[in-house]
């Protein structure tokens, strides 16, 4: 069984206007279609940003064009590998923080044990004093 995996590509015309988002098997195929349909300087980009028809590509950056004409940088869509790496890094940070917290708790427990011993010694000393006073 042959499985073909298509990926979405953003088709951009010669002026930098996002014209379409379409599925292709690879980057070369998407670029050929973009140039054939939208002109020799048209291009295709892998769909890694949240854009739609009418948005703008300028100086290597995609922008969402709002109704009032404002242009905002398009939101990046991380790959699964990037998401996994990010989560792994966060996990390492959390593990370090957990270890630090456990160490701090152990140190606090030991400090409390020392204080309890000092309180016990003080109580014993006071008891001895009271006994001497009664005698």
- Predicted confidence band at 3 (pLDDT cuts at 50, 70, 90)? low
pLDDT tops 80 at residue 33 = yes
Q: How confident is the model at residue 1 (pLDDT cuts 50, 70, 90)?
A: low
pLDDT at 110 > cutoff 80: yes
For residues 17-31, give the mean pLDDT: 95
Strand ranges across the sheet with 56-58 = 56-58, 61-65, 71-73
Distances from the Cα of 124 to the Cαs of 113, 120, 129, in angstroms? Answer: 16, 6, 9
Q: How far apart are CA 50 and CA 67, in angstroms?
A: 16
Summarize pLDDT for 40-96 with one digit per residue, the tens: 999 999 999 999 999 999 999 999 999 999 999 999 999 899 999 999 999 999 999
Closest of 39, 40, 43, 1 to residue 18, by C-alpha: 43
What pTM did the predictor assign?
0.63
The model's confidence at residue 15, banded by pLDDT at 50, 70 and 90, is very high
Q: What is the pLDDT of residue 93?
A: 97
């Amino acid at each position: 069984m042959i499985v073909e995996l298509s990926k979405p590509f953003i088709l951009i015309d010669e002026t930098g206007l996002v014209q379409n988002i379409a599925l292709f098997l690879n980057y070369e195929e998407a670029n050929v279609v973009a140039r054939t349909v939208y002109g020799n300087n048209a291009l295709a980009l892998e769909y890694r940003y949240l854009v739609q028809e009418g948005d703008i590509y300028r100086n290597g950056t995609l922008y969402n064009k709002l109704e009032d004409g404002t242009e905002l940088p398009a939101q990046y869509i991380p790959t699964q590998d990037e998401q996994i790496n990010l989560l792994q890094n966060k996990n390492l940070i959390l593990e370090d923080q957990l270890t630090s917290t456990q160490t701090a708790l152990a140190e606090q427990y030991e400090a409390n044990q020392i204080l309890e011993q000092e309180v016990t010694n003080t109580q014993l000393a006071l008891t001895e004093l009271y006994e001497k006073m009664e005698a």
